[in-house]
Amino acid sequence: MRVLVTGGAGFVGSNVVEFLDSRGHEVRVLDDLSAGARPSWWRTRAGPRCIEASVEDGPAVRRAARGVEAVVHLAAKPGVADSVAHPEVDFQTNVLGTFSVVDAARRGGVKSLIFASSGAVLAGAEPPLREDMAPAPRSPYGASKLYGEGITAAASVFGMVGISLRFANVYGPNCGHKKSVIALFLKRALAGQPLVVYGDGRQTRDFLYVDDVSVAVERALGASRPGVYHLGTGVETSVNELVKTVAAACGRQVPVERRPPRPGDAARSFVDLTSARRALRWTPKVGLEEGLRRTLDWMRPAQR
């Protein structure tokens, strides 16, 4: 397929782009590089066609979407804490930017629209998180992702098959610029710095390796019906457990620095994979210990 990936130079995006390219898809990338990431293939002759622009730039997005069959919309301002501190920035990119992408897809006659959502739309729900639960966001970030799911579902009126994929906590190679917990833990552990734990560390998350996300995205591109699907491992891991697993992966003891809990953070989060398994025929393959080893292998050569 001819596919436009927004946010394709970022962490998840660069992995998705490389995977789709390896699978024979013709990939086009739109990214404003604001996250600080720049893949080795960015604007090289051998790489995908790259367009430096923001999703908030409607004309640029419309030009990028011309002639493609599918759009994978990954561009976003991530993070609950940042959205609480700067809700106006979250709204500008995650709401207005998402509308810009969907509008460009509509104008371009795109048939398949994949939206990167998050379990943050259900931050107030009791896990395991399922698609039939009533939305319960507890942050501007979660609310903005809920908007994205809504407009993706409504895209069916324009002849598009809209799929929202609610990512669990994704980690893996190319995450050097990320502020997510695993990326920060690994970088700090390799540097001999303490791991910062907010609250008592008993809060739980579902950690998903990025290669499994890439497979799910390709499966969603082939879907014939709209839908919303949780992507995760179904395994609940506490932050305290993660500290021990990171230390074991690094082969060293790591100090821990405790700080007050952050507003908007969910106490527990892990997902039910039933719908994704049934509709997308997708099951994650990489467990946490193996995923951490692969991520460390990527981080160590250049101490990114």
Which residue numbers are catalytic?
141
Strand order in the sheet with 2-6: 49-52, 26-31, 2-6, 70-73, 112-118, 161-167, 227-231
